A = this chain, B = another copy of it.
Amino acid sequence: MLFLHKSNLKNRAMAKSPITINDLARELNVAPSTVSRALNNSPKISDLTKQKIVKKAAELGYNLNMVASSLSRSRTNTIGVVIPFLNNFFYSEVVNGIEELAFNKGYRILIAQTRNSFDKEKEILRTMSATRVDGIIACLTTETTNTDHLKILSANDIPLVLFDRVRFDFPCRKVIIDNYSAMQQSVAHLARSGYKKIAHLGGPITCNISSEHAKAFKETLKREGLPLLTQFHLSTDLTEEDIMEAIKIWLTSRLKPDAIITATSYAALVVSKLIKEQKLSIPEDIALSSLTSEPALQFVEPQITSVALPGRDTGKTSMDYLLNEIEHKEQKSDTTIKPYQLIIRNSSFRNK
């Protein structure tokens, strides 16, 4: 009963097509505008007619055409989410947080993965703005070194909130982790546990996160009175091969590190495995600590010390800011720093 056979259409006489408010209007002998207002629960329509209309709508299986509604209102109630990868613990938690809040507020989310390609990022933003999303939440690629594509969004009045990997030179709200402090605490913790030759397996410095980590790494070592050996401070793309290569060199060199801090939890897992394969022990020979977390870290032996990031919360806050911009036209350009938690597990202190 979801369709009517309409005979008043010229080109598609007798075409089977979904019920519209016009169909309802004709059936009930009221104007389409009355139907629209009734279904939107406008106070201008009497309760009696509302009831009649709602009843008929249910009866005929009427389903609002959001496309038409969006065109008319110039609002799609859709927000775009741009992330490097979906199959990643942190990002999927963030999206989870975004989706939950969005759904409750009557928004849909459009997701796209950049796979860390700047070109794809540009392309995605272009199509999202064509789709007329009401706003965008994005985590930039590591390749993103200029912001022209973001400027197009502002020019089109599409609010943007950046999270995690951001560009401080672009005016918009940003939600990030206190990366400097996370590294600082990690190093300090290792130093105070007696480790002296601390190495860092980091990501590409083109992104704010890695550069903040790098800075904190150097400065904290100095503060703790430890030497900074250049070969112990690596910036890689963190592919499995990169990790393998770096670790093999470290573990077989004359001067081994006695502690390793990895940028990602996946790297930590790989490193942990490699160390054990070399018959070295964690944390006695080498300590291990990760700047990102995922549940797996608690299931390996020994459990790996890590910085727990508030993914859900980051997503929720980003969405919250975006909604403020969308619904209250509140235009801010500040940076919110989310708290992290250094969770000390057995991989980072010697039992003595």
| A interface residues, Cβ below 8 angstroms from B | 2-3, 18, 61, 63-68, 70-71, 76, 78, 85-89, 92-93, 95-96, 99-100, 103, 108-113, 126-132, 152, 155-156, 266, 269-270, 272-273, 276, 294-296, 298-301
Contacts and interface: CB of A to CB of B under 8 A. Distances in A.
A63 B131 contact: no
Contacts of A295: 266, 269, 296
A67 B132 contact: yes
Nearest to A87: B92
A295 to B, nearest CB: 7
B96 A86 contact: yes
B76 A87 contact: no
B130 A64 contact: yes
Contacts of A64: 130
A108 B124 CA distance: 10
B130 A66 contact: yes
Nearest to A81: B111
Contacts of A132: 65-67
Nearest to A301: B301
Nearest to A124: B103
Nearest to A69: B130
B87 A111 contact: no
A99 B32 CA distance: 38
Given A112-B108, A296-B296, A156 B2 contact: yes
A130 B269 contact: no
B111 A99 contact: yes
Contacts of A111: 95, 99, 109-111
Contact of A300 (B65, B76, B299): B299
Contact of A2 (B65, B155, B272): B155
Given A99-B113, A103-B113, 16 more contacts: A2-B152, A63-B129, A65-B71, A67-B70, A78-B131, A85-B96, A87-B96, A96-B113, A99-B111, A103-B112, A108-B127, A108-B131, A266-B295, A273-B298, A294-B296, A301-B301
Contacts of A130: 63-66
9 contacts: A2-B155, A3-B155, A63-B129, A67-B132, A85-B96, A99-B111, A109-B111, A269-B299, A273-B298
Contacts of A70: 67
A91 to B, nearest CB: 9
A108 B136 CA distance: 14
A126 B276 CA distance: 52
A68 B71 contact: yes
Q: List the 10 closest A-B pairs by CB distance, nearest first.
A: A296-B296, A87-B92, A2-B155, A269-B299, A66-B130, A66-B131, A67-B71, A86-B92, A67-B70, A64-B130
A71 B96 CA distance: 30
Contacts of A3: 155
Contacts of A100: 113
A110 B112 contact: no
Nearest to A126: B63
Given A66-B130, A96-B87, A155-B61, A108 B108 contact: no
A71 B111 CA distance: 22
A111 B113 CA distance: 13
Nearest to A109: B111
